[in-house]
Amino acid sequence: MRNPRKSSALACALTLLATALSGAVPAHAAADDPVIAPEVLASFDARATTDFWVRMSGKADLAPAKKIAGRTARGRDVVERLHARADRDQEPLRKLLKAEKVKSTAFWVTNAVYVKNASKALAKKIAKLPGVEEIRAPVTYTIPEPVRSTPAGAAAATGLTWGVSNINADDVWAGTGRRGEDIVIANIDSGVQYDHPALVKSYRGSNADGTFTHDYHWYDPLRECPSDAPCDNNSHGTHTMGTMAGDDGQGNQIGVAPGVRWIAAKGCTTDQCSEEALVASSQWMLAPTDSSGANPDASKRPHIVNNSWGASLTTQPFMEDIQLAWAASGIMGIWSNGNDGPGCQTSGSPGGRVINYSVGAYDVDNKIASFSSRGPGQDGEIKPNISAPGVNVRSSVPGGAYAFYNGTSMAAPHVAGAVALLWSARPEYVRDTAATRLLLDLSAIDTDDTSCGGTAADNAVYGEGRLDALALVEAGTRGTARLSGTVTDATTGRPVEGATVTLTGPLTRTSTLGADGDYRYTLVAGEYQLKAEAFGYRTTTKTATLARDDTLTLDVALPQTERIDLTGTVSDASGLGRGLAARITADDGKGHTWNAESDPGTGAYTLSLLPSMTYTLTTRATEPGYDPSVQQVTMGETGRRLDLGLTVSLSCVARGYEVIRDGSTEPFDAATAPKGWTVTNVDPRIPKYAHQPGWVFTDAGGRGNHTGGAGGFAIVDSLHSGKGHLQDTYLTSPSYDLTDRASATLEFAHDLKPAVNSTTGVDLSVDGGRTWKTVWSAKGFPGAPGPAVHVVPLPDAAGQADVRIRLHYRGQLSGWWAVDDLFVGDRTCRPAAP
């Protein structure tokens, strides 16, 4: 539980281990000590010795453990593999520390050693040992006091809490007769008041004769409690444990799974969280020990561990090797997602990491809490994974009392308790963490809020939705199955892009299909009605019956609704009259399109359309050299014919056509500006940039003529001009008299290599240079690598007596623009002579 505007009450843990024990590549403090973090080296400037973590690079292979059927054997195998790897990797380090008489604590759960009061010289020695991945500084965080809430009527509140009722946990008790029996749940928190009236009966250390045995049931790595018995000097841990396991038998039903047995580890002190204590607690969960810390026994490990702590970090890994070890051993970890909402990308860590299952918080009205952190999390992962009650949650606190708290810390125990109910009612899922996560996702109540991304069914505010313990157990009873298929056009066999598939049954799902027409679902087993629909098609319904672990393919062919044919030919309309290969697209203006291809030889096409509609028809040749055409067509109740003609484009590259020019061409073959042409370099008013070369007619940069022309050319070579040189330069033509021209065109061959900071353009003046109008421009990429020809129609120049053209380039270290064979005059495209 955390204050919405402050760090978590137990926020200590995350950043400590994130920096101390993460797998991230460390910052290089110095070239000769790349594994020592700068913070460690800096600490030696203030004192002669310091504490630090040494993390080894080796990882134990835990994959075989998941194949071991026996619960105890599986747990022991994980511990043995972790031990063996740590013992082997850490041996040189341990020998060195022993020889140096330096105190340390070696861990096998994370293959790391916590070194105390070590010198800089020793740190450098350690850095050179084989297998040392990083040396990190420890960090300590304070724990704010838990913030309580006081809802109306809270003072006298007893009985079933709203959260337990909201997630239908009481319905699971009634329907299955199971309340978590045979499941052991744990928390790593601030401790627990073990003899609290709501918790004493479910504490695993409680004996039938009223005595207590704390061996294997309680761990206090920092020895904060006055005896070997559990204590809680913060209240946070007692509260979270109550939400999982609390029930005093006198009307205070605060726990989701009061039939479980619980154990606990005190990972946090009165006002601090130590990364050493958190790692030690996590290790203890894999093989609890007696009160002296000896005789570990993996058979006594818990099934589920709740972690209601974290910090506002989403980018750093934390405890992921520990989480992998827990999962291999069959321990399911549940994490709070953080209380730094309502902004997006505020998911706390470790909850925000992909590997961890995290929980958001909502209130009694099923509305997400304003403080609940939103995703996405690591690598865009949807976070939280699920949401649960986390506002005005009543639970146990030290002193045998009860209190209302807010936070995702309160939400996470609801999920941990729900998992306990599932595993108690459906033992086949016990320690199957992957299947359990899937069932949690599938059974969650979809809650639409895409304000931080995702979909209505899975978004970065609620995750997969709101927790429903009854639906979770029912899903476990049914099992899961997979359904997939393709929706196609029954006439053509092609996938129907944009089709909608809706499933109703034990779950409800809706998808809009992509271009492949495919759908894929993982579902709770059962009978489903599948409805496929798309515009222009008849809605089709099928039944899918899915058995547990079934994989079913169900394809759907949608019959077209009534269609009428638009037929005709696509032909050349510039003189040759031949049929053209083209793509014809009809658009109804409402997001629906229909396509057809014409015959390459005859140009014939058939386009099946819906009757009584008006379409925008776009025709594009699939061979080069033709401009597309766009026109409206209205279809009645019967088919109709429409012949389509395409004209040759201005470039005149269509087969069977040639260019006829009548005008003036400048080849730029001389080493200086041609007669009548002028170069104007604009002074950029920066002295060191002034008077730099602009348009030139020699190839000082050795580019070669790649315009497609021959001989010389004009060029602005910005890259060749040298660092810091700025070009803002114009090349202006002499006057052209076009009074007897009915049409006018500009054509030039060029080779343009631009950059993001370059501007290239052509300007036109029809009044002798007094005013100018830009008729073509290119800014930045992709340019026009030569040989390239550009044709610009100049309708304003036809019939004018004093027409001028100018080429403008501006840039700095921004490529070049080479121009050749610039033509101005009449330019026509006509069928080539036989």
So which residues are the catalytic ones? 189, 236, 409
CA-based R_g, the chain, Å: 38
In what helix (H) or strand (E) does residue 521 lie, and over which residues does it extend? Answer: strand 518-524
Judge whether 60 and 112 are in contact, CB under 8 Å.
no
In what helix (H) or strand (E) does residue 762 lie, and over which residues does it extend? Answer: strand 759-765
Count CB atoms within 10 A of the CB of residue 745. Answer: 22
CA-wise closest residue to 733 among 700, 709, 766? 766
* d(C-alpha 748, C-alpha 823), whole Å: 6
* d(C-alpha 570, C-alpha 605), whole Å: 7
* d(C-alpha 98, C-alpha 103), whole Å: 8
What DSSP letter does each residue of 27-93 carry, written as one string? Answer: P-S-TT-TTB-HHHHHHTTT-SEEEEEEEE------GGGGG--SHHHHHHHHHHHHHHHHHHHHHHH
What DSSP letter does each residue of 594-626 carry, written as one string? Answer: EEEE--TTT-EEEEEE-SSEEEEEEEEESSSSB
In single-letter form, the type of residue at position 729 comes to T
Cis peptide leading into residue 376 (ω within 30°): yes
Q: Which residues, 6 or more positions from 325, have their beta carbon under 8 angstroms from its beta carbon? A: 60, 62, 78, 82, 109, 286
Give the pair of three-digit tokens for residue 375: 């995703």
Task: Tell me which residue has tokens 């269509």.
Answer: 654
Q: Which residues, 6 or more positions from 652, have their beta carbon under 8 angstroms from its beta carbon? A: 625, 658, 659, 791, 829
Give the pair of three-digit tokens for residue 428: 């086949």
337 alpha carbon, distance to own chain's centre: 17
* d(C-alpha 287, C-alpha 301), whole Å: 6
Question: How many residues appear in the chain?
Answer: 834
Give the pair of three-digit tokens for residue 207: 């004996």
CA-wise closest residue to 430 among 526, 308, 302, 336? 302
Report how far apart the first and last C-alpha atoms of the chain are (Å, whole number). 88
Give the pair of three-digit tokens for residue 518: 């495919």
CA-wise closest residue to 331 among 183, 527, 454, 506? 183
Q: Which residues, 6 or more positions from 698, have their beta carbon under 8 angstroms from its beta carbon? A: 671, 712
Cis peptide leading into residue 693 (ω within 30°): no
